[in-house]
Structure formats: C-alpha cells, structure tokens
Copies of this chain bind each other. A is one copy, B any other.
Amino acid sequence: MGRWEPNARGRLEQAALELYSDRGFEQTTVAEIAKRAGLTERTFFRHFADKREVLFAGGGALQELFVGTVADLPDSVVPIDAVAAALEAVAAGFEGRHAYARERQAVIAANAELRERELIKLASWSAALTDTLRRRGVGDPAASLIAEAGIAVFKVAFERWVEEPDPRDLVQLIRESLDELKAATAGKCGSA
C-alpha cells in the first residue's frame, strides 16, 4: 500500500471522475482525490497542472489523431472535406466509450470552470487545425474559419451523441451536422 503502486496517474484520474460524479466538482477537494488514489495532494499536482486538468489530460492523443488525419490527406481533397474526414476519424475513436463519455460530459456540464477548460481544449484543436490547413496552402482567414466551423460541427454533434442514453452513430451525426451547416451558410434552408 506504500509507494510504487503502478499507474498513479490513472488511479488519480479514476478517483477524480468518481468523486466529481458523486459529490460534484466544487464539493471535492484535491486531498480527497489523492487519498482515494493512495497518494498525497502534492503528488496530484505533480501529475496534473490543476484540479480541472485531471479530466482533460487524455485529450492530447485525440488532437494528434485529428491533426494527423488532415495532414495525411492528399492535397487534392478540398479543405472542408479534409476537416470532415478528420472529424470522422476522431468520432471513430469514441467507439464503445459512450458510457464513459456520457459520465464525463455530465460532470463537465455541471460546472462552469470545467466548461471553460473544455472550450479552451477545443480552441486548441481549432488552432492546430488552422495551422495544418495553412500548410496545405489554405489562405487566411479561410483557414481559421474552416477550422472553427469544423470544431463547431464536432461540438454540436458530440453534444447530441452524449445527450441520448441510447447511442446513435457519432460519425453519422457529424455528417448530418456538417450538411446542415453547409445548407445554412448557403442561405437555403432552416428559415421560417
């Protein structure tokens, strides 16, 4: 029970999600999380920059998948389609994790500070995507706008996916959302 139990980081992540889910984010102290993981508060802060980050540290791999997908596509693919492909690749990464995503998202939705952190993570995706698009020769500000729009599509689709207890196909939700955005910016659909 002493030091050197394996996977300290993972234990902290799991303990945090459980406590945030049970008592709420604000009602949970870092000391409690650490204790449940068999560690000390100081060690928590060696693994995670702050109390919120423990819920978001896993997102780094997704961002790499996301950007990598766009970068690997042939230049002949138009930007909006490249973004669509990347979104679908990320969506596929959530396969079979609906229950986990749902619990985590419920915790985040219940607290403003956690929503803030989530938004800045998505903004970081958007910035990385903007960069990748520029490298493909997309101009400014088109690159930023396509990236922001793409992230918006993901956000909306993901929200819908998580809302329902009965998991639909996230990839398809993303396709639908993108089509709706295309229609709306063309000024053709959705008006009263």
A residues apposed to B, CB below 8 Å: 75, 77-81, 112, 115-117, 119-120, 123, 136-139, 141-146, 148-149, 152-153, 155-157, 159-160, 175-177, 179-192
Contact = CB atoms under 8 A, between A and B. Distances in A.
Contact of A185 (B120, B159, B181): B181
A84 to B, nearest CB: 9
- What copy number does this chain have within its complex? 2
B187 A182 contact: yes
Contacts of A80: 184-185, 187
Nearest to A189: B183
Nearest to A126: B152
Contacts of A143: 190
Nearest to A133: B190
A188 B79 CA distance: 10
Given A149-B149, A179-B191, A190-B179, A184 B79 contact: yes
Contacts of A120: 112, 115-116, 119
Contacts of A179: 189-192
A188 B180 CA distance: 10
A186 B184 contact: no
Contacts of A186: 182, 185-189
A156 to B, nearest CB: 5
Contacts of A157: 141
Contact of A192 (B75, B115, B152, B155): B75
A112 B192 CA distance: 36
B187 A189 contact: no
